[in-house]
Homo-oligomer: A and B are copies of this chain.
Amino acid sequence: MRFLITGIGGFAGPHLARALLDAGHTVHGVVRRRGSMRALEPLHMQFGERFPSGAVITADVLDPRALLGAVAEARPDGVFHLAGVTYVPASETDPLAAHRTNFFGSLNVLRAVGEVRPECRVLFVGSGDAYGAAGNEFSMISEEVPLQPVSPYGVSKAAADLAAFQWHWAGGNVVRARPFNHTGPGQDSRFVCSSFARQVAEIEAGQRPAVLEVGNLDVIRDFTDVEDIVAGYVALWERGEGGEVYNLCSGRAVPIRTVVDELRAQARSAIEIRVTEVRRRPNEVRRLVGTAARAQSKTGWRPARPLAETLARLLGYWRERVRAKV
């Protein structure tokens, strides 16, 4: 099969590309800036002719014509639409930019597919953040829970998610995923687990004082390994019901404190904790935990990796990055 991944240079993109290449598929990708292609170098090395750098096309999802060209060139049977603004505080600084990229960008991707490859199935990547404040009300969020996004990011993802439903209703072929928090090697260190793991690696290397700076430790999230999430994208693309929406999450309620404790337990040196105000986000929800029962019963998908293992791989990633820099 032939697949096109938008945002292939982002966090989940390279993991998904590897999963598809490992399964023998042909993979093309779209990046906004050529700089994002660096994350793909290991894949070009590993897969050689099967995944040359020419398979990655530069196109902004806000540029309909460039998208049409990318879809025409890739001739995909399936599109995984991962491209978007993913960092919540960035959406608070510039909501309109997030709405444009995440909402209008998604519409552009759907339209380009509709024009050039109308039979192609699109896996739309939304977000558990679309539920927002509902997380405080429901101990396990199912797809039936009313959307109450608390950040412009959550609004932009919810809006695109509903647009993807409408696109399917009007004749397109879309399955919608709502991944909750996920982490693993390659994640930007602005995100909570990656921030902590990076700090630990830098502390171990003597590059910073033995103090881990953290935000609100009582916040509860549902973390899944990025490898499990991309396996979920593939499972939904293959076996999800057209138009339907599926949570992808672990169902584990993990206080941020647990992430910190686990990383400290794995650290090679003693580390203190300091709660800093700047790391507390305004208006964030106390709890956001989902159930992926629908995805599990429809596709058999099930997250496999324990959190400690995910954090160990994340910490290993940062140790290597820190070493490489020294």
**B166–A151 touching, CB < 8 Å:** yes
- Known contacts A104-B96, A107-B96, A283-B170, A162 near B143 by CB under 8 Å: no
**B166–A154 touching, CB < 8 Å:** yes
**B159–A155 touching, CB < 8 Å:** yes
Residues of B contacting A317 with CB < 8 Å? none
**A169–B143 touching, CB < 8 Å:** no
Residues of B contacting A158 with CB < 8 Å? 159, 162
- Known contacts A95-B107, A104-B96, A104-B99, A147 near B162 by CB under 8 Å: yes
Please, which residue of chain B has its CB at the minimum distance from the CB of A170? B283
Q: Is A216 an interface residue (CB 8 A)?
A: no
Q: Is A165 an interface residue (CB 8 A)?
A: yes
A26 to B279, CA, bound (A): 45
A130 to B166, CA, bound (A): 10
Which residues 144-185 of A sit at the B interface, judged by CB distance below 8 A?
Answer: 144, 146-152, 154-155, 158-159, 162-163, 165-166, 169-171
Residues of B contacting A130 with CB < 8 Å? 162
Within the complex, what minimum Cβ distance (angstroms) separates A204 from chain B?
A: 38
**A165–B144 touching, CB < 8 Å:** no
**A148–B132 touching, CB < 8 Å:** no
Per-position 1/0 for A61-103, Cβ under 8 A of B: 0000000000000000000000000000000000110010001
Q: Is A8 an interface residue (CB 8 A)?
A: no
Please, which residue of chain B has its CB at the minimum distance from the CB of A169? B150
Q: Is A256 an interface residue (CB 8 A)?
A: no
A151 to B154, CA, bound (A): 21
A142 to B321, CA, bound (A): 52
Q: Is A133 an interface residue (CB 8 A)?
A: yes
Copies of the chain in the assembly: 2
Identify the interface centre among A96, A143, A169: most chain B CB within 10 Å of its CB.
A169
Residues of B contacting A171 with CB < 8 Å? 283
A170 to B149, CA, bound (A): 11
- Known contacts A159-B158, A169-B283, A147 near B147 by CB under 8 Å: yes
Main secondary structure of the interface of A (DSSP, over half): helix
**A169–B133 touching, CB < 8 Å:** yes
Please, which residue of chain B has its CB at the minimum distance from the CB of A165? B148
A155 to B146, CA, bound (A): 15
Residues of B contacting A149 with CB < 8 Å? 162, 165-166
Please, which residue of chain B has its CB at the minimum distance from the CB of A150? B169
A199 to B133, CA, bound (A): 48
Please, which residue of chain B has its CB at the minimum distance from the CB of A108? B96
Please, which residue of chain B has its CB at the minimum distance from the CB of A157? B162
Known: A130-B162, A155-B162. 20 other contacts (CB 8 A): A96-B104, A99-B104, A99-B107, A132-B169, A133-B165, A133-B169, A147-B147, A148-B162, A148-B165, A149-B165, A151-B166, A152-B166, A154-B162, A155-B159, A155-B163, A155-B166, A158-B159, A169-B283, A170-B282, A170-B283
A and B contact pairs by CB, cutoff 8 A, 14 listed: A95-B107, A103-B103, A130-B162, A132-B169, A133-B165, A133-B169, A147-B162, A148-B165, A148-B169, A149-B162, A149-B165, A149-B166, A155-B159, A170-B283
